[in-house]
Chain A
Amino acid sequence: MTTLLPLGHLAPLLVLAVATLGFARPGRRPAYVPQLAEAAALGALALAALGAVQLGMGSAQTIGTGAFSLRMDAASATMTLLVAFVGWVVVRYSRSYLDGEAQEGRFHGLMLIALAAVLVLVQSGSLPVLIGSFIAIGVALRQLLLFYDDRAEARRAATKFTLVWGAGDAALVLAALCLWQAFGTVDVVALGTVAQGGLPLAGHLAAGLLVLAAALKTASFPLHGWLTEVMEAPTPVSALLHAGIINAGGFLLIRMADVVQASPGALAALVMLGGFTALFGAMVMLTQSAVKTALAWSTVSQMGFMLLQCGLGLWTLALLHIVAHSLYKAHAFLASGGAVRAVVGINRPGPIAVPGLGAVARAFLLALAIYAVVALGFGAVAGTKSAQALALGAILIFGVAYLVAQGLADAAPRALTQRTALASLAAAVAYFALHVAAGALWGPHLPAPPVPGALEWALIVLALASFGLIAIAQALFPLWAHHPATAGLRVHIANGLYLNAVLDRLIGGLSTHRHAGRKA
């Protein structure tokens, strides 16, 4: 069985083959193209699933040699399955959604190319393959962002995207050169093995460049602006981008986990950058009244959280976060047309019960109690956890406290309190169970979190303190959100602290010379 070619490797080929058909019939209602596009995506999903089964029956393997190789292991099988699944859903969606568009065939072709490139990326066994797929994704996505190129907004977004994505590619090429210089190989498995023995200077530089590349590609602060503007492309593009493509930066780190973890500086940078981006994006999201824009800010924030997990050395949890976030975000974009109905539903049952200070304090105590019980329970079953994992659990439980607090508001009826308490418990149990599952599935193939030293402890405390503070602020939110003193703060946050405006100014995004004309 293991001598067979991993079937997942065939998935991109199948998808690419049909992509060419899309370019052969680029126009409106191209015969069979939408149907074949879905069939190809479904075929890729089947191959990915069979590949995963194959892997379960055999062992990880690398196909190809040296600079050009593909890799199938637990992480890549997971990602292949995830990307192929989201890809199928998105391509199927596009079948109806794009019907009648002037460039319908070309759209399917581009989507399939992007999908194939991501499928290659998550199965790449060497840095050149990884870099090549990143570049291909950039090219396909740029064309998709320019699908309505008569819109100045779309051209602005595409310019920004290309700039940041290209910078990420450049960082990655430099990282590869450094690693080649340091270790004489660009094979990811070989690099992982040698990195465990410590990094030379070029290796540290490479780790830093990998972090930079990942930060750019996951729309991390301060160059997140491109991601919050790409709603200029049709909805399925957003879904694929936010559920399939944006993860690639995280996957890059996970693939190179041994190299990154060998550099404490790189980890520290990830914790600080990721943690700040997570909180920053989440705050901005609160102020956005357009559904897709709020979702884009949520992605910025979630990707930041994933980088934080990488920085803490919690690689399995980062991978879990990628999977969970992808599924959620793909659905959120594709179903974003339901926002009108959702708002009606929110307003129907009457005013929201606002928890006071006392209720919030009780909620946090209760949440911590839930944490203690559930963590002990799982600890007894699955063994002890690292300090980083415990800290992350605490951060997540701060979030659950908000759910508890809503049910503890003085005006909340008892039945509501019971429901929210039950939901809180279910959420806590679910994510601890998922953590255990993730550990079992991917733990053996990824490095364990480093034993915390002074730096790590400082970062853990910093993360706990800042997330805790924001969590308390969020639970007390209705008490201060409309206070005149915070009105200015809201304006600055709603504008994403103006980083995008500054970027626009720097690259001349609002210049009439570059973007002549204005379209309704």
Chain B
Amino acid sequence: MFHKQSQFSSAHISGILKAAEAAARDIPPAFPLEATVAVNPFMGQTGEDLATASARLARVAGVRITRARSDYARAVAEGTITDEDLAEALAACPHINKPADLAALHAQLAIDSPTPRALPTVAHLAATATGTDWPALIDRCFGLWAAGYFDRGQALWTPAPGHSAFAGWREWATHDLTPEIAGLTGFCAHVASAPDTPERAILRASERLGLGEDVAEQVFHRLLMDIGGWSQHARWLLWQAELAGTTDSTITDLLAIRLVWEEALLELAPQASQPWVQTRAAHAAPLVPSPAQVVDAVLQEAAERAHQRGLSAAMTGLDVTNGRPEVQAAFCIDVRSEVFRRAFEAQDTAIDTIGFAGFFGLPLAHRPHGTDQTQIHLPVLLNPALTACSHAGPKAEEDARISARALRAWGRFRQAAVSSFAFVESAGPLYGWKLVKGALGLDGVKAAKSPAPQIEGGLTAEQKADIGAKVLTAMSMTKHHAPLVLLLGHGASVTNNPHESAYHCGACAGQTGEMSARMLAILLNDPETRAGLPEHGITVAEDVLFVAGLHDTTTDEITLYDDCPAKSHKDRLEQTRRWLKAAGAQARAERALRLPGATAQSVTARAANWAELRPEWGLAGCAAFIAAPRGVTRHADLQGRAFLHSYDWQDDAGFATLELILTAPVVVASWISLQYYGSSVAPHAFGGGNKLIHNVVGGIGVVQGNGGVLRPGLPWQSIHDGEALAHEPLRLSVMIEAPTEAISDILQKHPDVQALFDNGWLHLFALEGGKVAARYRPGRVWDGAALQAKAA
């Protein structure tokens, strides 16, 4: 069969393989649930705008990536979206097939846009031809194999390690009789005789399926979407490999596997050939959004402009405070902090808060107590540069490991074939008590006590001062420190929730912010650090104490860590704890209004309830990112919907910090906002499915019900309260208090970031004196005059 392929020109071969590579990059990575972070589901489409991506994803995934037309119509009828919003959105739309005028757009509001249908795969065509649901069979067979192949420790009997996905699957599929029993006669032999490398399998299948270079990428994208989260998990493997400077071909292997199925089904159902020719033609047609898709994109933009109107109104100017605060508290920029910061500041005028990404700029990997493994604690765009270790003494470490291993041996005793009977007969009755504890939430929320972290290998005095100075500069905290500075990471206490890490800190790669905060506080209290800071132009008064803490976003309780005890600050700390406690109560009361069935008093209990599917709302509702001094937002109630990053451009020599903000936190925030967006508007393709029937698989993710495709993204219950969406799907509005030229210069240096703004995946505004001064338009154009005219 290879001699046939050699008839192709090498250009054709490389064209098909390039299409496979491109299709892989059309897929967003899905991080395993062990430490998951939000990812932009449209990561492969950021080079296109919303309408064009709508057209593409309608073809390859059968999803609409805007809301239902009736949702927009309701917002217009209720006056949330005004005619002005509609007109502006229409004017900004670059597509020629958009409605001619506002009246035409209005007329469209009453018409439902057609439900998209994905172009069929051969499996779908064969199902129609033969009456057997082949796509369902593929889901099942592929899912069972993939669950075992990607398993990290759920099953005791997993496939032999060390095989590539394609080799592993070939071995599996040559033995698996399920397809043959279902009627796909000869499938095992078909697999056995398939080419033995994924590249050659792709080439052979492309030939048999008649795929030219013009349609290959789209057909491949379609097939990768068909296996859902499995391809996204494989894309994550590629992401990790590339971050480490290597590469990984698992996703190409999965494509090859799916193509082997297509080949076999085309052979089984020759009647599918004719419709397949038509399908290929449909794939080859130019990718132009339909008028309905353009209208939906305009309406989405109008909804975002409506939100921006409210946001602009809340930006009333800069409030300058004088005098030294008693307490400064640095929180993560996470939107959940906004509620708590407001509540905390409301306790006393002497309290000041700061927002910064929750890893506090420390590029840490962390080796926790009781293990030699490390986990990363920084945005997943970056590689760690330092390793912090929280090991206790050798005796305690040894004890922890022995306990864990004994527990593991007991777990294997429970799981293994014959011993499972002995387990049930000896230990089963104990579970009666465990059921009582679970039902009544008696275990509560246990905060694991970890020894204080230290940097492995130590740091020289110079390194300490260097790191300290860098972090303080990035945080815009170079002067006027309060005598007590809290560094507060965040994490969520939840029980029995597979998506636990999704509630933790995204900037800490799905871990809690505890380690980063503690490490930084220890570093900044270190006399060697303090002695070296003045050389970097930073003065921290001698009486300043940094104290690390963790904000529990389910309970709004704050744990402060006593890593650097200081008697001098005892009273101030006592007072601060009282303020934090009062602020927690206030924040809970505010959050209870949004949580179904909650009261201010019952919010805390959600953390320990093993049946609670909505312990808290995570970042649902996120809609804005504001980089400015706190004085700009201090008096605004942003309803827990804004990322607040402290930034003072006047202290930012050369705009290095601004560049950091635009390329790291803004990008991470866009991933979060677009994950919420994608999970809300296209839950079937990008959402995590229904939590009530989740089935944890392989330790990496969930499937629904019996098995099938992996479901990355946010579960429906995380964005919907049962009656309505808890997250209004809006693309993020970024507002930055900085000169427009400086912003433009940075965008020019980072075309990937500029593409996010140019294609409308993010909106950008410049603030001046705490008020919106200019709106960014594609191509680094600033529209200031119009805004100012409107304000006047």
Q: How far is the CA of A406 from the CA of B172 in the complex (A)?
A: 30
Contact with A along B150-178 (1 / 0, CB 8 A): 11111111111100000000011001111
Contact B611 A406 (CB under 8 A): no
Question: B144 contacts which chain A residues (CB < 8 A)?
Answer: 494-495
Contact B705 A324 (CB under 8 A): no
Contact B696 A100 (CB under 8 A): no
Q: How far is the CA of A100 from the CA of B597 in the complex (A)?
A: 10
Contact B181 A498 (CB under 8 A): yes
B418 interface residue (CB < 8 Å to A): yes
A186 interface residue (CB < 8 Å to B): no
Contact A428 B408 (CB under 8 A): no
Q: How far is the CA of A340 from the CA of B722 in the complex (A)?
A: 26
Q: How far is the CA of A504 from the CA of B135 in the complex (A)?
A: 15
Q: How far is the CA of A421 from the CA of B245 in the complex (A)?
A: 46
Measured CB to CB, the closest approach of chain A to B739, in angstroms, equals: 46
B685 interface residue (CB < 8 Å to A): yes
Question: A430 contacts which chain B residues (CB < 8 A)?
Answer: 426-427
Contact B157 A89 (CB under 8 A): no
Which of these, A28, A229, A335, contacts B722 with CB under 8 Å? A28
B87 interface residue (CB < 8 Å to A): no
Are A101 and B722 also in contact (CB < 8 A) when A423-B406, A467-B418 are?
A: yes
A25 interface residue (CB < 8 Å to B): no
Contact A286 B435 (CB under 8 A): no
Q: How far is the CA of A467 from the CA of B435 in the complex (A)?
A: 31
Q: How far is the CA of A336 from the CA of B695 in the complex (A)?
A: 8
Contact B416 A286 (CB under 8 A): yes
Question: A282 contacts which chain B residues (CB < 8 A)?
Answer: 416-418, 420
Q: Of residues 443 to 490 in A, which have CB atoms within 8 Å of B's CB atoms? A: 467, 470-471, 473-474, 477, 481-484, 487-488, 490
**Beta-carbon nearest neighbor of A345 in chain B:** B404
Measured CB to CB, the closest approach of chain A to B433, in angstroms, equals: 9
Question: A395 contacts which chain B residues (CB < 8 A)?
Answer: 418, 421
Contact A291 B154 (CB under 8 A): yes
Question: A32 contacts which chain B residues (CB < 8 A)?
Answer: none
Are A232 and B371 also in contact (CB < 8 A) when A331-B434, A510-B136 are?
A: no
Which of these, A346, A471, A492, contacts B408 with CB under 8 Å? A346
Chain A binding surface, main DSSP class: helix
Q: How far is the CA of A474 from the CA of B416 in the complex (A)?
A: 7
Question: B498 contacts which chain A residues (CB < 8 A)?
Answer: 337-340
**Beta-carbon nearest neighbor of A346 in chain B:** B153
Question: B721 contacts which chain A residues (CB < 8 A)?
Answer: 100
Are A93 and B413 also in contact (CB < 8 A) when A396-B421, A399-B420, A491-B175 are?
A: no
Measured CB to CB, the closest approach of chain B to A226, in angstroms, equals: 11
Contact A347 B425 (CB under 8 A): no
The interface stretch among A1-9, A148-156, A192-200 is A148-156
Question: A236 contacts which chain B residues (CB < 8 A)?
Answer: 611
A24 interface residue (CB < 8 Å to B): no
Are A513 and B131 also in contact (CB < 8 A) when A93-B439, A231-B706 are?
A: yes
A253 interface residue (CB < 8 Å to B): no
Contact with A along B400-440 (1 / 0, CB 8 A): 01111111111111011111111111111111101110110
The interface stretch among B101-109, B542-550, B568-576, B686-694 is B686-694
Contact B497 A286 (CB under 8 A): no
Are A340 and B417 also in contact (CB < 8 A) when A152-B133, A289-B147, A510-B132 are?
A: no
Q: How far is the CA of A406 from the CA of B33 in the complex (A)?
A: 29
Contact A334 B408 (CB under 8 A): no
The interface size bin for chain A is 35 or more
Contact B425 A98 (CB under 8 A): no
Contact A93 B610 (CB under 8 A): yes
Question: A493 contacts which chain B residues (CB < 8 A)?
Answer: 157
**Beta-carbon nearest neighbor of A419 in chain B:** B406
Contact B177 A501 (CB under 8 A): yes
B44 interface residue (CB < 8 Å to A): no
Which of these, A86, A325, A339, A415, contacts B424 with CB under 8 Å? A325
Q: How far is the CA of A482 from the CA of B431 in the complex (A)?
A: 33
Most buried by B among A302, A344, A415, A426: A344
Contact A325 B428 (CB under 8 A): yes
Which of these, A231, A335, A402, A484, contacts B705 with CB under 8 Å? A231
A165 interface residue (CB < 8 Å to B): no
Question: A340 contacts which chain B residues (CB < 8 A)?
Answer: 33-34, 498, 500-501, 696, 699
Measured CB to CB, the closest approach of chain B to A221, in angstroms, equals: 15
B527 interface residue (CB < 8 Å to A): no
Contact B611 A334 (CB under 8 A): yes
Most buried by A among B181, B424, B498: B424
Question: A426 contacts which chain B residues (CB < 8 A)?
Answer: 426
Contact B439 A89 (CB under 8 A): yes
Q: How far is the CA of A293 from the CA of B415 in the complex (A)?
A: 13
Q: How far is the CA of A483 from the CA of B159 in the complex (A)?
A: 10
B723 interface residue (CB < 8 Å to A): yes
Which of these, A279, A293, A515, contacts B707 with CB under 8 Å? A293
A413 interface residue (CB < 8 Å to B): yes
Are A399 and B413 also in contact (CB < 8 A) when A93-B611, A339-B498 are?
A: yes
The interface stretch among A69-77, A256-264, A348-356, A381-389 is A348-356
Contact B699 A420 (CB under 8 A): no
Question: B436 contacts which chain A residues (CB < 8 A)?
Answer: 89
Question: A482 contacts which chain B residues (CB < 8 A)?
Answer: 159-161
Question: A85 contacts which chain B residues (CB < 8 A)?
Answer: 432, 435
Q: How far is the CA of A92 from the CA of B611 in the complex (A)?
A: 9
Contact A330 B404 (CB under 8 A): no
Are A335 and B610 also in contact (CB < 8 A) when A286-B156, A340-B699, A491-B175 are?
A: yes
A323 interface residue (CB < 8 Å to B): yes
B444 interface residue (CB < 8 Å to A): no
Measured CB to CB, the closest approach of chain B to A378, in angstroms, equals: 13
Question: B431 contacts which chain A residues (CB < 8 A)?
Answer: 324, 327-328, 330-332
Contact B154 A399 (CB under 8 A): no
Contact with B along A292-335 (1 / 0, CB 8 A): 11100010011001000000000001001101111110111011
Contact B428 A154 (CB under 8 A): no
Q: How far is the CA of A339 from the CA of B169 in the complex (A)?
A: 25
Which of these, A291, A320, A326, A334, contacts B695 with CB under 8 Å? A291
Contact B422 A512 (CB under 8 A): no
Contact A327 B429 (CB under 8 A): yes
**Beta-carbon nearest neighbor of A233 in chain B:** B693
Contact B409 A403 (CB under 8 A): yes
Q: Of residues 143 to 194 in A, which have CB atoms within 8 Å of B's CB atoms? A: 148, 151-154, 157
**Beta-carbon nearest neighbor of A302 in chain B:** B424
A407 interface residue (CB < 8 Å to B): yes
A80 interface residue (CB < 8 Å to B): no
B612 interface residue (CB < 8 Å to A): yes
Q: How far is the CA of A176 from the CA of B611 in the complex (A)?
A: 41
Question: 21 A-B Cβ contacts within 8 A?
Answer: A29-B597, A89-B435, A92-B439, A153-B706, A287-B157, A289-B147, A301-B420, A302-B421, A323-B428, A324-B428, A331-B438, A344-B699, A348-B371, A416-B406, A423-B406, A427-B427, A471-B419, A484-B160, A505-B183, A510-B137, A518-B135
**Which residues of B line the A interface, CB within 8 A?**
33-34, 127-128, 131-133, 135-137, 144, 147-148, 150-161, 171-172, 175-178, 181-183, 228, 368, 370-373, 398-399, 401-413, 415-432, 434-436, 438-439, 496-498, 500-501, 596-597, 609-614, 684-685, 690, 692-699, 703-709, 717, 720-723
With contacts A427-B426, A518-B133 known, what are 7 further pairs, Cβ within 8 A?
A100-B722, A101-B722, A352-B408, A396-B425, A398-B418, A482-B161, A491-B176
Q: Which 7 A-B pairs have the closest CB atoms?
A: A100-B722, A324-B428, A343-B699, A399-B422, A399-B419, A520-B684, A339-B696
